[in-house]
Structure 1
Amino acid sequence: MNSKNYEFSKTLHNNQNQNWVRAIDSSKIITWIDDLFRILFPEKTLESIQIELLLDQNKINFITILTEINKGKAVDKSRELADAFYEALPELYSSMQKDAQAILDTDPAADCIEEIINSYPGFFAIEVYRIANAIASRTKCLIPRILTEYAHSKTGIDIHPNATIDVPFMIDHGTGIVIGESTIIGKYVSIYQGVTLGALQVEKSMQEKKRHPTVEDHVIIYANATILGGSTIIGNHSIVGGNTFISKSVNPYSLIMQSNKNTVLNQQEIKDINFFSI
């Protein structure tokens, strides 16, 4: 080894001893969540004893992951967290069922539950969020962010695991959606592609403050709308039109649309008008 490589190796070693490490291979967490979803939503009906055995193995794998991440901490702590998570799993599963049913009830393009749980990116992103949020509410570790970034990479939907999202919640199409950390979303909210629920400004000093908006029950937010600010509240039963920009609260039952108007000309009226584009 030449001297430059030797010096760089020493630098890497020293930095890695100061937490410049990944802590765990993300693929282990991804395998765990994929296995869990195969138990919750299998290809065919499983016998109760099969489900019990699969859940036991999934729990063991989860404890192994927690123990690996939390090096130096007692294994009992990992078991305690796993116990709490799997005790909450029936309620999480019920929430997922309600999400899927709400999508089926509201989306005219959805034909059956099987279609939603198999192919809807919005459903997948929501349910990964629900799992990640349940873990994040019980411990601070890498798992929730790795889970939601996995869903982000697959769907283009970025939901922070610490956001608060009630049940049911519907995402249609979904690509480009961003839901920030301190966002609060109520029941029966529908969001379309390209929507941002973000902060008005990004400063480290605001880390502990509410930076993202609140969306109350029964709100529809159409494509590419941007809603910013921790004090911004979208009142219940409101409709937010596409491409709108909102940084102030709106009352319940509001209809928010862009003020810009499109001009529509009859085809016969534009015979003598020359258009060109670059």
Structure 2
Amino acid sequence: MDSQEIIINKIKQNKIQPNLRFRLKRETEAFTDLLFLSLFDIETPFRDNLPKLKQQFDLLVNLACWDPEKSCGSVWEDYFQSLPTVLESLNLDAQAIADCDPASLSIEEVYLAYPGFYAIAIYRLAHELYKHKFPLVPRLMTEYAHRQTGVDINPGAQIGKSFFIDHATGVVIGETAVIRNHVKIYQGVTLGALYVAKSLSNTKRHPTIEDNVTIYANATILGGETVIGANSIIGGNAWLTSSVPANSKVFHTPEIEIRLQDNGI
């Protein structure tokens, strides 16, 4: 056996994941693109695309549901039934962005140009599959949006109505985060865990954000027991690992040191 065959055989021996098909990633992205277009584009009749969406979903079932004890074939009908409600929620998100951002010139601009809206849209569409415990695909959907927008929303997060992410880039929202209604967050915000351990996989690790909270750029809020009370404002660069009551204002105060120029006197 020549050296090339030896190397090939070693590679074959180390390809140890029998269900690892990267085609699943590409097919998930194609399904996500078609679903987004079908829901929002006025020139794309949803009825016309429905057979194609169902066909693509069936392919995802075949690629992702390799566990014989997990039946995914019945998920489509429930998912299809949920789409009007998801679209209603996304229209509220778009309106919240248009109403809150003085830079938005039209509601159409929000749908077409705002990365925060796109990230929220793909999160909401993925979250419905996450609730059905559909394997891998919800995470692949939100990672697709993450790659395009810089916004990392785990599909397991629970997010209420009229959600607004401004500027988008660098936002991280963990799996067990709970965000209530009319919340606004800005670029660089992290809703994360205090620390990471595999034993915490079934534990609430990420904070709860109550109604009408605004969180400004680069603020970090950590911990599953951390609750930001309703109507609060969290200033930029704040670091929080404990709860704050409703109607609070939390600001980071930097320490400023002024160094005088040494003029030799």
- TM normalised by structure 1 equals 0.87
Secondary structure of the 2:23 match is coil
Moved over 3 A (4+): 5-20, 22-25, 71-74, 76-79, 261-264
Verify the 8 A CA contact 2:104 2:110 in the aligned structure 1.
yes
Secondary structure of the 1:237 match is coil
The equivalent residue for 2:216 is 222
The equivalent residue for 1:57 is 52
Q: 1:9-48 counterparts in 2 under 5 A?
A: 9-19=8-18, 21-22=20-21, 24-42=23-41, 44-46=42-44
Shift of 1:45: 4.0
- Deviation sequence 1:43-68 (CA, Å, 0-9, x none): x445xxx4212123212211122122
1:112 aligns with 2:106: yes
Q: 1:1-278 counterparts in 2 under 5 A?
A: 2-3=2-3, 5-19=4-18, 21-22=20-21, 24-42=23-41, 44-46=42-44, 50-71=45-66, 73=68, 77-260=71-254, 274=261
The one-letter amino acid paired with 2:57 is F
Verify the 8 A CA contact 1:35 1:58 in the aligned structure 2.
yes
Q: Distance in 1 between matches of 2:31 and 2:218?
A: 33
- Deviation sequence 1:62-83 (CA, Å, 0-9, x none): 1122122224759x94441111
Shift of 1:26: 1.2
Q: Distance in 1 between matches of 2:118 and 2:234?
A: 24
Question: Gaps spanning 5+ residues in structure 1: where?
Answer: 265-272
Q: Distance in 2 between matches of 1:210 and 1:143?
A: 22
Secondary structure of the 1:27 match is helix
Verify the 8 A CA contact 1:59 1:86 in the aligned structure 2.
no
Q: Distance in 2 between matches of 1:23 and 1:140?
A: 17
- Deviation sequence 1:6-28 (CA, Å, 0-9, x none): 34433443444544723634121
Verify the 8 A CA contact 1:23 1:69 in the aligned structure 2.
no
Verify the 8 A CA contact 2:234 2:249 in the aligned structure 1.
yes
Secondary structure of the 1:174 match is coil
The one-letter amino acid paired with 2:63 is E
Secondary structure of the 1:151 match is helix
Secondary structure of the 1:167 match is coil
Q: Distance in 2 between matches of 1:25 and 1:222?
A: 37
Verify the 8 A CA contact 1:125 1:157 in the aligned structure 2.
yes
Q: Which range moves more in the overlay, 30-39 or 245-254?
A: 30-39
- TM normalised by structure 2 equals 0.91
The one-letter amino acid paired with 2:198 is K
Verify the 8 A CA contact 2:19 2:66 in the aligned structure 1.
no
Verify the 8 A CA contact 2:24 2:63 in the aligned structure 1.
no
Distance of aligned partners of 1:262 and 1:108 in 2 relative to their CA distance in 1, 3 Å threshold: farther
Verify the 8 A CA contact 2:24 2:64 in the aligned structure 1.
no
Q: Distance in 1 between matches of 2:72 and 2:22?
A: 16
Q: Distance in 2 between matches of 1:18 and 1:28?
A: 19
Shift of 1:152: 0.7
The alignment yields a C-alpha RMSD, in angstroms, of: 2.4
Q: Distance in 1 between matches of 2:81 and 2:10?
A: 45
